Chain A
C-alpha cells in the first residue's frame, strides 16, 4: 500500500465521520462518531510517523488514542447517561439542508486550500482539503446544534480537523505545542462537562436556546 493512498483513504474516512455526526440523532451515536474519528486521526499519526520517519509522532498517536478515543468519549458517554437525555433535539437546520451546506463547505475547502495544496510536495497533500472541510463542518455543527453536548462534539471535531490539517500539510506541529493543545482540550472538555450538568440542573434541559436571559 502506498503512503499517499493510505493517507487519502484515512482523510476520507475522517471526513465521513463529520458528515455522520450531522445525520445521527442519538447523542450516544454522536459520541461514537467522534471516538471513531479520533481513532482515524491516531492511525494517521502513526502512519505518518512510520512512512515519514517522524518517530515522535508515535507518541502523539498514543496520546490521541488515550485522550480522544478513550478518555473524552467515556466522559461524554457518562454525561449522556447521567443527564438521561438520549436524543438530540432538532437543530436549527434540518439534516438534508445541513448536508447540502456541508457539501458546499467541502467545495469551499478545496478552493480555500488551493494555495496550500498547490505548493505542497508531501505525499499526504491530497487529503488537506478534506481535513479542512472538517474544520468548516465542525464550525457549522457548533453553530447549528442546540444541545450543549452536540455543540461540544462539533468543537471537538473542529479541533480534530485542525490536527488533521497539520499532520497532512507538515507532518504535525512541534511536540511541545501538540501536548499543550491536548492538555487545553482535555481541561476544556472536563469543564464543559461540569457545565452540562449545571445547565441541566438549572434549566432542566440542555437545549442552549433555553438560556436567553442575557440580551442587549
Chain B
C-alpha cells in the first residue's frame, strides 16, 4: 500500500498541476507533493531499516536498495523542488503561465518515473520507467528554448534512447536465459536471483555487456557520456540538480541489480573487470575536460562523469568496502552535486553568464550563495570533513585489497588531476573583487536555505559512520548478495 502511496503522490501532483489555472496553486501542489514524497520515502526506509526486509505488492517491490534509492530521490527532489519555486519566480517571472505549469508538471513526472524505476520487481517495467525519465526530462533540458538547448536536448534524447535500447537488448537476453527455466516470470528480479546459478553463463555474459553499455549511458559512464555535459549544463538549475544528483544513480541502480544476477551466474570477476575499465576511462576523460573547462555548469557536469567513474570503480573493486564505498559515494555525490547545481542557478541569475571568467568575488557579491558553494566544492573535491573523502577512502582501500595496485593507483592519480583542474577554476570564481556595477546580496535567500541540510548531512557522513547507518548498508549489501 505504502508503495502505491509513494508513487501516486508525484503522479497525482503531475496530473493536478497540468490542470491548474493559477501559479500559486501549481506551486502549492508542487511543494506539498515534494515534501510528502520525502516523508513517505522516509517511512518506507524506516520500515525496512527496522527489520521488515521487503515490501511487496504484485509488480511493486521495495527492499533495502530500493528504499535507499527512494530516499535519495525524494530528498534531492524536495531540496530542488523548494529551490525551483524561487528560481522559477525570478527566472521566468514574465514567461506565460502554461510554460511554468509545464515545468512543474514535468518535474513531478520525472520524480514519478525515477521512483517507479527503483520500486518495481519487473526488470522490463524498470526499463520502461527509465526510458520514461528521458522522455520526462527532454523538454526540461530545452526549457530555455535556445539553439544550444535544442542541440543538447536532441543529443540527449537520441543518445539516451539508443543507449537504453541496448539495455533492452540485454534485458531480452536475460529473459531468454531465464524463460527456459522459469517461463513468464523470468523478468522478475527476485525470480532471477533465485535461479541465477542455473542460467546459461555465456548468454548472461553477453547480456551484461549490453546492460552495462545501455544503463551505463544513463549513468554517464564514458565513452557513452557525451550527452551529459550538454544536457546537465543546458537544463534549468533545479533540473540539473535532479539529473546530476539522482538520475545518474538510477542508471547505477539498474546496473547493480543486473550485476548481482551476473555475479552469481558467471562469478564476480567478469562484471568487475568491465566496471573498472569503464570507471577508469570515465575518470580519465573527465579529468582531461576539467583541466581546461571554461563554463562552470559544464565543469560541474564533467565532475559528475568523474564521480560516476569513481562509483564504477568501487563496484568493480568489490568486497565489503568497495560496495559500501560505492553506495555511500552515490549518496554523497547526490548531496553535494545537487547542492552545487542549485547554487549554480543562483550564480547564473546574479552574474547572467555561465563563463568561469565572468565570475569574480562570489564570496563578496553573494555571501550566502558563495559560502555554500565553497562548502559544496570542498566536499566535491573529496576533502575532509565531508562525506566524499570517506567514501573515496573506502573505495580505494578496497581497490588495494582486492585488485592489483595498478587500478587504484591510476584512479587516485586521475582524481588528483581533476582536483587540480577544478581548484583553479573555482578559486578564481570565489575570490577577487566583483565588478563594480554588480550590487551586493544573494539573488535568492529562502530557496537556498534547505541546502544547509545537505552540508550538515555531508559533514555527518564525513565525520562519523554511525551504527544505524551501517546496519542499513549491511541490509543493502545483503540484498545484492554480498556476504558480510
- Name A residues whose Cβ lies closer than 8 Å to a Cβ of B: 112, 115-116, 119, 135, 139, 142, 148, 151-152, 155, 158-159, 162, 165-166, 169-170, 173-174, 176-177, 180-181, 183-184, 187-188, 191-192, 195, 198-199, 202-203, 208, 211-214, 216
Known contacts A162-B168, A174-B124; can you find 6 more A-B pairs with CB under 8 A? Answer: A116-B203, A169-B176, A176-B124, A191-B135, A211-B150, A211-B155
Instruction: Tell me which of A135, A158, A184, A213 contacts B135 (CB under 8 A).
Output: A184
**Who on chain A is nearest to B169 by CB?**
A162
Sample of 21 A–B contacts (CB below 8 Å): A119-B200, A152-B158, A155-B162, A159-B165, A166-B176, A170-B176, A173-B171, A173-B187, A176-B124, A177-B124, A177-B127, A181-B128, A187-B135, A191-B139, A192-B157, A195-B150, A211-B151, A213-B148, A214-B151, A214-B155, A214-B229
A177 to B171, CA, bound (A): 11
- Name B residues whose Cβ lies closer than 8 Å to a Cβ of A: 59, 122, 124-125, 127-128, 131-132, 134-135, 138-139, 142, 147-148, 150-155, 157-158, 161-162, 165-166, 168-169, 171-173, 175-176, 179-180, 184, 187, 200, 202-203, 206, 229-230, 234, 289, 292-294, 298
Query: Judging by beta carbons under 8 Å apart, are B176 and A199 in contact?
Result: no
List of B residues within 8 angstroms of A115 by Cβ: 200, 202-203, 206
A101 to B263, CA, bound (A): 34
List of B residues within 8 angstroms of A191 by Cβ: 135, 138-139, 157
A187 to B106, CA, bound (A): 14
Query: Judging by beta carbons under 8 Å apart, are B230 and A214 in contact?
Result: yes
Query: Judging by beta carbons under 8 Å apart, are A142 and B162 in contact?
Result: yes
Instruction: Tell me which of B132, B150, B155 contacts A202 (CB under 8 A).
Output: B150
Looking at chain A's contact residues, the main secondary structure is: helix
CB distance from A160 to the nearest CB of B (A): 10
Query: Judging by beta carbons under 8 Å apart, are A195 and B153 in contact?
Result: yes
Query: Judging by beta carbons under 8 Å apart, are A216 and B161 in contact?
Result: no
A195 to B202, CA, bound (A): 40
List of B residues within 8 angstroms of A187 by Cβ: 135
Query: Judging by beta carbons under 8 Å apart, are A211 and B154 in contact?
Result: yes
A211 to B187, CA, bound (A): 40
Query: Judging by beta carbons under 8 Å apart, are A169 and B172 in contact?
Result: yes
CB distance from A207 to the nearest CB of B (A): 12
List of A residues within 8 angstroms of B179 by Cβ: 170
Given A116-B173, A169-B172, A180-B128, the answer on whether A188 and B200 have CB atoms closer than 8 Å is no
List of B residues within 8 angstroms of A188 by Cβ: 131, 134-135, 157, 161
Query: Judging by beta carbons under 8 Å apart, are A214 and B148 in contact?
Result: yes
A184 to B150, CA, bound (A): 21
Given A115-B203, A202-B150, A216-B292, the answer on whether A166 and B125 have CB atoms closer than 8 Å is no
A47 to B127, CA, bound (A): 27
A187 to B142, CA, bound (A): 17
A112 to B210, CA, bound (A): 12
List of B residues within 8 angstroms of A119 by Cβ: 180, 200, 203
A166 to B169, CA, bound (A): 8
A157 to B192, CA, bound (A): 29
List of B residues within 8 angstroms of A152 by Cβ: 158
List of A residues within 8 angstroms of B168 by Cβ: 159, 162, 181
**Who on chain B is nearest to A195 by CB?**
B154
Query: Judging by beta carbons under 8 Å apart, are B128 and A184 in contact?
Result: yes
Query: Judging by beta carbons under 8 Å apart, are B172 and A173 in contact?
Result: yes
A208 to B152, CA, bound (A): 11
List of A residues within 8 angstroms of B147 by Cβ: 202-203, 211, 213
A143 to B175, CA, bound (A): 28
Query: Judging by beta carbons under 8 Å apart, are B131 and A184 in contact?
Result: yes
